[in-house]
């Protein structure tokens, strides 16, 4: 990192968090009546954000497990709360995913968002503040603030710019995720006082918490609270019911960000907080969570198969894909966790692109029903080609991005959980069924609906926001080393931490202790 000026390395993450906020404030003062200016300004801010995030990706030392580009400033020192941000191999690619997709998403709204452009752009930028903040926060209080900050802009994006049942979906989205996360708040507070009771120091610093050895019974309840919050967000079966509603009714840009980034906040939360803070409970409850993940994979795929609406199909496919992410994580080994992180990025790219492509179709026909289409490949060759690549990427075709992630996850999960992994692998086949079937019905065959005969193909602007995504589909698929090597240090340290802390905590446990005895003192 020596080529980056020292001043910059300390402050770059702060700049990344607050640049979109500054952009949002700037937008407040721009005239309402000039939508083009508002769009260009937002595009500029988000593009600048992406450019500024590049030095972080290049400069991060992948062999080190430490937080890098750290900045720590006391905030409420009497209570040990500080503004503490940093990035490591676990958060790096999620940060990059966010900054990469934002300008593309903004570009996609140039024609699809016509009303209240100013407010729309302000909410998009505020959303970016929250998302970037969540991935960079290294303090529990700060993390929680950014975590909740994301809800309000997304609530407005769905509720104001959405379709049909937007109000219902917006409130459902908000209440589900908020109800989940307030329990996490109680757990954070309890953890905070536990830290004080053990060390005599008030602190909400994540790394101070990592060093704690928390009694196993306490771990169980805290893990449950954190896991519930994150399970709502991911969403894991059976907490997923808000997702199809939110996706279907959200505007395209909202769906893209929701699927690509917001859901990752849940999976990231598991990796960053729930698992490393409470390793004993995490490992003991892994069978439950892995089973739910696999149920999600199969259930999501089966339900996706029978959907009539393309967007809803993609929404259910998200449930299935995130099942893979969760399964890999709960393998607790290098392959599983690296695959899991890579798959988060892959899902962001593939599903984000799918929503963008569906949005392009929706702009032309104002419907997303599969039965309304057919034979589009003849009139829209460029569109069909892009759609094909993304479809194959989503299925996990070798050579494309998702294959690498899914393969690593299955390899990682096979050793600890062979039976579940076999069932999960069937999900790959299901995904081929629903995606290809949908593709076939939309793209091939005769043109049955006259309205589809003269649809215009993708415009230059539309190609401009799909093309960069295709680049990464191939890049990750062909040479994933670029991405995996940056994670090595952090993931290895995480695996080691889980193992050592678990052994230390259970060193005095009687051999053959059942979980009921360990957590609830219930003995036969």
Residues that bind another protein (CB under 8 A): 75-79, 116, 119, 144-145, 148-149, 151-152, 155-156, 159-160, 166-167, 170-171, 174-175, 178-179, 182-183, 185-186, 189-190, 192-193
Q: How far is the CB of 314 from another protein (least distance, A)?
A: 24
Of 515, 504, 293, nearest to 409 by C-alpha is: 293
Q: How far is the CB of 286 from another protein (least distance, A)?
A: 25
State how far the Cα of 51 lies from the Cα of 69, in Å rounded to an integer: 16
**Nearest to another protein of 165, 366 (CB atom):** 165
Distance, C-alpha 139 to centroid of its chain: 20
Phi, psi of 137 (to 5 degrees): -65, 135
Is residue 514 left, alpha or beta, with left meaning phi > 0 and alpha meaning psi from -120 to 50?
beta
**Nearest to another protein of 148, 499 (CB atom):** 148
**DSSP calls for 316-329:** HHHHHHHHHHHHHH
**Nearest to another protein of 35, 328 (CB atom):** 35
**DSSP calls for 197-256:** HHHS----BHHHHHT----HHHHHHHHHHHHHHHHHHTTPTTS-THHHHHHHHS-HHHHH
Q: How far is the CB of 193 from another protein (least distance, A)?
A: 5
Element containing residue 304 per DSSP (H, E)? helix 279-305
**Nearest to another protein of 167, 478 (CB atom):** 167
**Nearest to another protein of 192, 383 (CB atom):** 192
Q: How far is the CB of 75 from another protein (least distance, A)?
A: 8
Three-state secondary structure string covering 27-94:
HHCCCCCCHHHHHHHHHHHHHHHHHHHHHHHHHCCCCCCCCEEEEEEEEEHHHCEEEEEEECCCCHHH
**Nearest to another protein of 176, 324 (CB atom):** 176
Q: How far is the CB of 217 from another protein (least distance, A)?
A: 13
b/e 310-321 (16+ beta carbons within 10 angstroms → b): bbbbbbbbbbbb
Q: How far is the CB of 224 from another protein (least distance, A)?
A: 12
Asked whether 487 and 89 are in contact (CB, 8 A), the reply is yes
State how far the Cα of 495 lies from the Cα of 481, in Å rounded to an integer: 20
Q: How far is the CB of 125 from another protein (least distance, A)?
A: 15
Phi, psi of 98 (to 5 degrees): -65, -50
Q: How far is the CB of 190 from another protein (least distance, A)?
A: 5
**Nearest to another protein of 159, 300 (CB atom):** 159
**Nearest to another protein of 165, 485 (CB atom):** 165
**Nearest to another protein of 13, 376 (CB atom):** 13
Torsion angle of alpha carbons 13, 14, 19, 22, nearest 10°? 170
Q: How far is the CB of 53 from another protein (least distance, A)?
A: 23
**Nearest to another protein of 4, 26 (CB atom):** 26
Q: How far is the CB of 524 from another protein (least distance, A)?
A: 29
Cα dihedral 351, 353, 359, 362 sign: negative
């Amino acid at each position: 990192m020596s080529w980056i000026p020292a001043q910059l390395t300390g402050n770059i993450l702060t700049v990344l968090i607050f640049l979109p906020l500054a952009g949002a404030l700037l937008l407040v003062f721009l005239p309402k009546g000039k939508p083009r200016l508002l769009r260009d300004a937002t595009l500029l801010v988000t593009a600048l954000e992406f450019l500024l995030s590049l030095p972080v990706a290049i400069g991060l030392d992948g062999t080190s497990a430490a937080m890098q580009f750290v900045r720590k400033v006391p905030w409420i020192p009497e209570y040990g709360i500080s503004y503490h941000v940093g990035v490591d191999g676990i958060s790096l690619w999620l940060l990059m995913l966010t900054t990469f997709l934002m300008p593309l998403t903004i570009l996609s709204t140039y024609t699809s968002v016509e009303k209240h452009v100013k407010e729309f752009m302000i909410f998009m930028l505020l959303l970016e503040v929250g998302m970037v903040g969540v991935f960079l926060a290294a303090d529990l209080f700060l993390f929680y603030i950014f975590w909740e900050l994301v809800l309000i802009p997304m609530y407005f994006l769905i509720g104001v710019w959405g379709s049909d049942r937007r109000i219902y979906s917006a409130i459902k989205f908000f209440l589900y995720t908020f109800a989940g996360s307030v329990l996490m708040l109680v757990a954070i507070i309890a953890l905070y006082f536990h830290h004080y009771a053990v060390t005599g120091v008030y602190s909400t610093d994540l790394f101070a918490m990592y060093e704690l050895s928390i009694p196993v019974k306490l771990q169980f309840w805290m893990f449950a609270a954190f896991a519930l919050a994150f399970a709502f967000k991911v969403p894991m079966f059976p907490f997923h019911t808000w997702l199809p509603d939110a996706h279907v009714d959200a505007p395209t840009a909202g769906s893209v960000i929701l699927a690509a980034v917001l859901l990752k906040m849940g999976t990231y939360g598991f990796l960053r907080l729930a698992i490393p803070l409470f390793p004993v409970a995490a490992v003991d409850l892994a069978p439950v969570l892995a089973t739910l993940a696999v149920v999600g994979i199969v259930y999501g795929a089966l339900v996706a198969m029978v959907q009539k609406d393309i967007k809803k199909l993609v929404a259910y496919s998200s449930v299935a894909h995130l099942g893979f992410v969760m399964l890999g994580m709960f393998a607790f080994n290098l392959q599983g966790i690296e695959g899991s992180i890579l798959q988060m990025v892959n899902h962001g790219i593939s599903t984000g692109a799918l929503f963008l492509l569906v949005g392009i179709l929706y702009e032309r026909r104002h419907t997303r029903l599969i039965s309304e289409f057919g034979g589009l490949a003849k009139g829209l060759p460029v569109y069909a080609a892009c759609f094909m690549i993304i479809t194959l990427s989503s299925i996990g075709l070798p050579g494309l991005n998702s294959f690498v992630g899914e393969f690593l996850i299955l390899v990682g999960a096979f050793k600890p959980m062979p039976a579940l992994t076999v069932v999960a692998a069937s999900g790959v086949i299901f995904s081929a069924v629903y995606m290809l079937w949908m593709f076939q019905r939309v793209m091939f065959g005769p043109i049955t609906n006259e309205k589809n005969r003269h649809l215009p193909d993708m415009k230059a602007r539309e190609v401009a926001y799909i093309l960069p995504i295709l680049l990464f589909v191939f890049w990750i698929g062909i040479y994933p080393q670029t991405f995996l090597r940056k994670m090595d240090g952090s993931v290895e340290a995480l695996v080691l931490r889980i193992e050592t802390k678990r052994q230390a905590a259970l060193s005095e446990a009687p051999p053959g202790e059942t979980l009921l005895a360990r957590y609830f003192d219930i003995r036969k």
